[in-house]
Structure formats: C-alpha cells, structure tokens
Chain A
Amino acid sequence: MLNSSHCSFKNMTQEFTILVSASPLKTQSHLTSMRFIQELIQQNISIRSVFFYQDAVLVANEFYNPPSDEPQIREQWQHLSRSHDLDLQTCVAASFRRGIIDEHEAKQRGLNSFNLHPSFKISGLGQLAAAMSDPNVKLVHFK
C-alpha cells in the first residue's frame, strides 16, 4: 500500500507512463495500478498515459460486464480517466488479436459492430515506445 506520508515520488521524475498487461479477470493489477495512479495524482505528479497491453486490453471490451457484486474495473478506469483527464490507450495489435475492435476498424473490415468502450483509445506500440524513449518519463509496469 502506498502511503503519501512515507512515499514521495517528487524530484524522481517529471512524468509517469503506466503499463498494464494483466487480464482484469486473473490478477489485481488493474486495481493496484489505479491505486498507484491515484497516489501520483495526490502528489501532483503528471501521468502521460496509461497503456493497456496483452490481456489487459480485455477491460476495454464494452461487453465485458462482471456481476454487480464484483469490482467494476472498467467503470473505475472510466471514472479515473474522466476525473483527471487521463488518456487510456489500448494496443491496436493486442486488441485486435483479442477481438476488441473500434468503429473505424470495424468499418474497414466490413464488420457489423464494434466493441471498444468509448473511454479507451486504440493506439500503437509506438506511443508506448516513444514514452519509454523519453528520459523524463518513468515507466511502471503492472503485470
């Protein structure tokens, strides 16, 4: 647990990029990463983006609807994104590989529907690599 009275990220770096790669169904990484982000926000530290890779992209499926008595992970991401203007990016290749398609791609492929939740944006690995190339950006990976 991060405690702001004991843990300070100030002066360590200017910005953070958060990489989440675990399935929302298999680990607590999504919940843990959101707590980490909230702590950064509390300390007024800038977050460049949150990048979802591998099975983590499953959270961006609009049809992902866990039972009401379980954590509503996507709703929590949505709330965090809206409250703090956070960019939630899902990897294009990882998403398409797992059947998560945005409206543009659905039209390109002649599909009848798409299922990317509007809180998320399809993005390329290049966006993540660009952040990783920036010496002022610290990458934190939640697996």
Chain B
Amino acid sequence: MVTTNIMIRSTSLNGADFKEAIDLGLVCAAFDQQVNLIFVDAGINNLIANQSASILKDKNQIDILKGLEFYDIDNIFLEKESLENSRLTMDNLLPTIQLVSTKELNNLNLNADNLVTF
C-alpha cells in the first residue's frame, strides 16, 4: 500500500491551507493510500478541540478532523516538540491525536512514498 504523509505547518487561519491539505488527504485515501496527517509548528492550532468559528460565521474545521476516520484516515500525528513549544496541552486538543518525537516523525517521512507539506 502506498503511504502518503500530509504535513500541516500552518494554522487554520492561514488561507485555505488546512482545507486543501484535507482535500488532498481525502482523495488519496479514496485511492486506497495510507494517509498520515502530521501536524507540526503552528499547525498544532488546527487541533484545538474547542473552536468557535461560528462567532465569525465560519466553518468549524475541527469537525472535519473528527469525521476523518469514516474516510479511512485514522492516523493523526502531532510532533511532541511542537506541543512543548506551544502554550497548549493535550487536554486542549483533539483526543485521537498520537504524539510523536521529531525522530519518529523523521522515520515516518522516510518510510512514506509521498510527502506533501502545507
């Protein structure tokens, strides 16, 4: 099975980066690829569980992440160092995230067939 890693570095407020990363992930999953979503740096902000985009009459992007398992995207990784460098804790974030060290993340990328960064 082909493995595609989608690495998200930018926040949910940075244009369409998050939406377009997820769009690519969904299409790759539909092609029976193993899709790993990897969040690093400011990308951690996409994982905050309690988002209130409705205040701005925007779409709540966290809902997209919650539904990904139905599209066979089960692996959502967060770099441990990115969490430590933020003011967030795991309690603030989506519960289904897997924490990985930078070394583990590098191994994930080395073993992937494709890597696309957003």
Residues of A within 8 A of B (CB): 19, 21, 53-55, 93-94, 97, 124-126, 128-130, 132-133, 135, 139, 141, 143
A129 to B17 alpha-carbon distance, docked (Å)? 18
Most buried by A among B15, B23, B30, B116: B116
10 smallest A-B Cβ distances: which pairs? A125-B27, A129-B31, A129-B27, A133-B31, A132-B114, A129-B28, A139-B114, A133-B2, A141-B116, A54-B20
Question: How many residues on chain B are close to A (CB under 8 Å)?
Answer: 20
Q: Which residues of B contact A54 (CB under 8 A)?
A: 16-17, 20, 118
CA distance in complex: A125, B25 (Å): 10
Min CB distance B37 to A, Å, is 15
Contact of A126 among B15, B27, B113, B114 (CB under 8 A): B27
Q: Tell me, in angstroms, the Cα distance from A97 to B16 when the chains sit together.
A: 9
The number of inter-chain residue pairs (CB within 8 angstroms) is 51
Q: Which residues of A contact B92 (CB under 8 A)?
A: none
Using a CB-CB cutoff of 8 Å, which residues 1-55 of chain B contact chain A? 2, 4, 15-17, 20, 23-24, 27-28, 30-33
CB distance from B45 to the nearest CB of A (A): 19
Q: Is the CB of B23 within 8 A of A132?
A: no
Interchain Cβ contacts under 8 Å between A and B, 20 examples: A53-B24, A54-B17, A54-B118, A124-B27, A125-B23, A128-B24, A129-B24, A129-B27, A129-B30, A129-B31, A129-B33, A132-B4, A132-B31, A132-B33, A133-B2, A133-B28, A135-B2, A139-B114, A139-B116, A141-B115
Tell me the dominant secondary structure on chain B's binding face.
mixed
Q: Is the CB of A19 within 8 A of B116?
A: yes
Chain A residues, CB < 8 A from B116? 19, 21, 139, 141
Not counting A94-B16, A132-B2, a sample of 17 additional A-B residue pairs whose C-beta atoms are within 8 angstroms of each other reads: A19-B116, A54-B20, A55-B15, A94-B20, A124-B27, A125-B27, A126-B30, A128-B24, A129-B27, A132-B31, A133-B2, A133-B28, A133-B33, A139-B116, A141-B116, A141-B117, A143-B117
